[in-house]
Amino acid sequence: MSPSDQPSVRLRPEIVALPAYRQGQAAATTAFKLSSNENPFDPLPGVIAAVNSETAYNRYPDASALALRERLAARFDRSVDEVHVGAGSVALLAQLILAAAGPGDEVLYSWRSFEAYPSLVTVAGATSIRVPNRDDHGHDLPEMATRITERTRVVIVCSPNNPTGTIVTADEFEAFMAVVPRDLLVILDEAYIEFVTDPEAVNGVPLLKRFPNLVVLRTFSKAYGLAGLRVGYALGPVAVLDGARATAIPLSVTGVAGAAAIASLDATDQLLRRVRTLTERRDAAWRALTEQGWNIPAPQGNFIWLPTGEETTDIADVLSAVGLIVRPFPEGIRISIGEEESVEKLLAICSDIVDDLPTGHSARRLG
Ligand SMILES: *Cc1c(COP(=O)(O)O)cnc(C)c1O
């Protein structure tokens, strides 16, 4: 930060030190934007019609998004109060962390994981405890369990994990929940659950009845293609969700977003067919990359993880030069599964890239 960027009023130093939000890089009109895990399909006509018919912009929305909560409650066999809706599941994460953790408290999660977690914890005044991912890029839940202390207030489990695409298995998750204190909030972030095809993966919803300290987060942004309208939901115990409701900025979920979400639930079959197209595209891309010699985790979200390590910046530049806008992290590159043509382009260039990786690089298969 240059001196001229110093705030002129006294802000919390940990807030001033936070990195500004980095949005997935904008794509030139000829490039493919594969940097934010968005859905490449245009909204369905029925969803657009629902949005266009919601015109009472002069009125505040229904504060509790009751109509949408009723639909979700029916779908997941919960009571209406066991459903909470927010302006994206990021908002719900913020609310739950604020409700449970403050200064002196710890929030535990695997790392590398969703980039919003660290700043949401800092904003709450709490401290992040990060447990490194396993060598296979999945969560190390047994190690996370050993890091729970008197000060831990929230544990976040992300399955499939953004950005590595790995899942937590149902067995791993249940073994973890069995040793977590019953008064410690566990958030299972399932932003990509609709893309999961591995039958061993955890699904939080049936576990809600067994674990009174579990909250499951889902979103309309990814599989349902409503990232621009901001709507996500939490399923969990009423008292915990009441805590989140108490920390929420009121009236953030607009009537338009609610109408689009309901229209999307009406079109679930059609939308899940699109999801299927994307998962088939994803699996074909993963098989092709593996055949090229890449050593990458089996993807279970709508994105692929290249653990390129120190070569990350160079490779991201190569991809960008051919019109593929991807998301580099210090440990590797996350690439969303987008238009078919973008995958063809990706496979063509990745075949050259893997041959150029140093021998012994962990993103390269042995032999
Ligand atoms: C995209 C994403 C979310 C939430 O996105 P919203 O648009 O705020 O619903 C939450 N968690 C993870 C891991 C994500 O990748």
Counting atoms of ligand 1 from 1, which one is nearest the CA of 301? 15
For the stretch 216-256, pLDDT in tens is 999 999 999 999 999 999 999 999 999 999 999 999 999 99
Q: What is the CATH architecture of 45-266?
A: 3-Layer(aba) Sandwich (3.40)
Q: Which two tokens stand for residue 96?
A: 């739950």
Counting atoms of ligand 1 from 1, which one is nearest the CA of 158? 13
Lowest mean pLDDT among 185-189, 215-219, 267-271, 359-363: 359-363
Mutate which of 133, 162, 216, 327 to test ligand 1's pocket (most atoms within 8 Å of Cβ)? 162
Residue 226 one-letter amino acid: L
Counting atoms of ligand 1 from 1, which one is nearest the CA of 227? 7
What is the pLDDT, as a whole number, of residue 117? Answer: 98
For the stretch 151-184, pLDDT in tens is 999 999 999 999 999 999 999 999 999 999 999 9
Distance 352 CA to ligand 1 centre (A): 32
Q: What is the mean pLDDT of residues 91-116?
A: 98
* Residue extent(s) of CATH 3.40.640.10 domains in the chain: 45-266
For the stretch 26-38, pLDDT in tens is 667 789 999 999 9
For the stretch 72-86, pLDDT in tens is 999 999 999 999 999
Q: Kindly list the protein residues whose Cβ atom lies closer than 6 A to any atom of ligand 1.
A: 37, 88-90, 114, 158, 162, 189, 191, 219, 221-222, 227, 232
* Residue extent(s) of CATH 3.90.1150.10 domains in the chain: 11-42+269-356
Global pTM reads 0.96
The secondary structure of 292-329 as a DSSP string is HTB--PPP-SSEEEE--GGGHHHHHHHHHHTTEE-EE-
What is the pLDDT, as a whole number, of residue 152? Answer: 98
Q: How many CA atoms lie within 13 A of 331 on its CB side?
A: 16
Pick one of 3.40.50.720, 3.90.1150.10, 1.20.1250.20, 1.10.3720.10 as the CATH number of 11-42+269-356.
Answer: 3.90.1150.10
Distance 191 CA to ligand 1 centre (A): 5
pLDDT of residue 63 exceeding 70: yes
